[in-house]
Structure 1
């Protein structure tokens, strides 16, 4: 859940007036899951909702990060960054090992025995 919360907080910080439908589309999740996660953030008081009363669309909302939400986003960003760096390092080691296998075989396009 941390990753999806991070992604939602990041999207809301960039575009507070994003609709839940658009949020779901960008995240690649169902509208129900986006709503569920957004409600979780509201329950943690990381996000507050503001209705645009002057808007033509009376269901238009702005999702604003609270000070606690800004702090949580910073912590989640750091956690996300560390996780992605670890994944990168693991991938880098795998690539290096595969390159060594190719170099050891002496043939760049050598086929593996069947």
Structure 2
């Protein structure tokens, strides 16, 4: 099984690739904001994706801001995104199954097996007003 750090890195790469696929014109800053990572991390991930051949940079010929680039997934990048998505789904299914097993064990332990567990009260009970 991969380390937790490796899993987080793969999830970040997948998230960045999904953002690029949705909007190739998104800036590095926008990618960072949407992915919940720092600008430096977004730049690092994008640079790594370009170096690996998963993303290609292209600039907008008609854009007056010549420094703005489009991040385009290459065929190799589309394949990698697909593999990362598959791994992500499998990992989440495993986590889900483990959580279900833990919940069932806790329900048996608490004597709630086979019953629908009531939702805990979060505040004082409301009283009927006339």
User: TM (normalized to structure 2)?
Assistant: 0.76
- Gaps in structure 1 of 5+ consecutive residues: 110-114
Alignment of 1:18-33 (within 5 A): 18-33=26-41
Number of equivalent positions: 106
- The answer to whether the aligner puts 1:35 opposite 2:43 as a matched pair is yes
Q: Work out whether 1:100 is the aligned partner of 2:108.
A: yes
Structure 2 distance, partners of 1:92, 1:84, is 12
Higher helix share: 1
Higher relative contact order (CA 8 A, sep 6+): 1
Coordinate RMSD, CA, aligned = 1.5
Deviation readout 1:69-99 (Å, 9 max, x if unpaired):
0111111111111011111111111111122
2:128: which partner in 1?
Answer: none
* Distance in 1 (alpha carbons) for counterparts of 2:102 and 2:34: 31
Match of 1:70 in 2: 78
